[in-house]
Amino acid sequence: MQQVINVFLIGISIGSIYALMSLALVLVWRSTRVVNFAQAGQAIVTTYVAWEVVNRSGSFLMAFIVAVAIGGLIGGLVESGMMRTLFKHASDGPVASVAPVIATLGLLGVIRALVGLIWTNEGKRFESPVSTAGFVIGDTTLPFSRLNLLIICTAAFVMIVFSIVFQRTNLGLALRAAAYNPEIARLSGVKVAMTRTIGWVFAGAAGAVAGILLSPNDSLTPYSLDVLFVFGFVAAVVGGLESLVGAVVGGLVLGVGLSFITFYLGTSLVFPTAFIVLVVVLLVRPSGLFGVKGARSA
């Protein structure tokens, strides 16, 4: 029983990271109808910056703040610099529907290459800010560590901030209106173009948090967040790709599920399971758990 609780808690910890990545993807999807394949690339930049800041100043908190700020900045720049040009040029023609995917993939490649040029492809050791040894209760050591607790708390904090912004502020109202119906939102005075950029800024910040939470106690390379992207995507699809709540729930469910599979069946089954979950959700309930029906097919 104790073991089950432990595996569950670790699942929540890793799942909240997936949830953040999934949140980033959903934010971008809601604002511009694009799945941002460069999201992991943007996060890798901020994670390397965070690593650099931690190395120079030793302060994890400062690294966190810098990473989030830069993540938001990159998100905004990508939207206003690249995606706007793309929508202007490639709005029709045979490849219009795949052009955003290709463009963001290209961006991912550019970012990885630049990161590799600056910091080399060798794995960097990202030290954990807190102890990674498990908590000790009585005379048993649990696999659940301070780091896991910190991850859960940080992710929860970020999600609470997001939900306050979305539910309680005028900006959040504008963002939701623009996602729900851009035409009517524009008529009621919402600057839709600006909400798009803001959506990308929030997404960049959320992705940055996911990257910085995943990397401690692990090796950091230009490719180390690919897996996070895929799990974030699966989580977003499970949650419906439209819904912010769905993204979080999808991430947590996926994290807990994969945690149990890792523990009881072995790591090699994690990827196949995630893929099967993705395909089954897409086939059985294409709108996801929280999605709107009919959004999925062309």
Partner 1 sequence: MLKRKHEESSKREHNPYRRRILFFLLLGWALLLLGDRVSELRVYQGALIAIYALAIGSLILLTGYSGQLSLGQGAFMAIGAYAAALTQIYLQPPIIITFISAVVVAALFGAIIGGGAARLSGPYLAGTTLALALGLPTLANLFSFLGGETGLYFDVGIAPERFGSEFTLYKWFFWIAALATLIMLFFIQNILKSRYGRAWKAGRSNPAAAQLVGLHVGRRKVLAFTISAGVAGLAGALLGMVSLVAPSTFTLSLSFAIITGAVLAGLTSLTGSILGGLVLVIIPEIAEMVSGNFGESEAVRANIPGLITSLLLILTVLFTPNGPAEQWHHHKEKKKQKAVEKQKN
- Which chain residues interact with partner 1 by CB under 8 A? 29, 34-35, 37, 82, 85-86, 89-90, 93-103, 105-110, 112-114, 116-117, 120-121, 226-227, 230, 233-234, 237, 268-269, 271-272, 274-275, 278-279, 282-283, 286, 296-298
Nearer Cβ to partner 1, position 58 or 123? 123
Tokens read off for 235: 């989580």
Nearer Cβ to partner 1, position 66 or 214? 214
Q: What is the dihedral of CA 85, 28, 45, 164, to 10 degrees?
A: 130
The least distance separating partner 1 from the CB of residue 122, rounded to whole angstroms, comes to 8
Nearer Cβ to partner 1, position 117 or 184? 117
Cα gap 113→25, rounded to integer Å? 22
Are the C-beta atoms of 29 and 236 separated by less than 8 Å?
A: yes
Among candidate residues 227, 217, 228, the one with its CA nearest the CA of residue 126: 217
Residue 298 CA, chain-centre distance (Å), reads 25
Residue 65 CA, chain-centre distance (Å), reads 17
The least distance separating partner 1 from the CB of residue 165, rounded to whole angstroms, comes to 25
The least distance separating partner 1 from the CB of residue 123, rounded to whole angstroms, comes to 13
Helices (H) and strands (E) in the chain, counts: 12, 4
Tokens read off for 246: 């769905």
Nearer Cβ to partner 1, position 4 or 117? 117
The least distance separating partner 1 from the CB of residue 92, rounded to whole angstroms, comes to 9
Nearer Cβ to partner 1, position 12 or 237? 237
The least distance separating partner 1 from the CB of residue 226, rounded to whole angstroms, comes to 6
Secondary structure class of 123 (helix, strand, coil)? coil
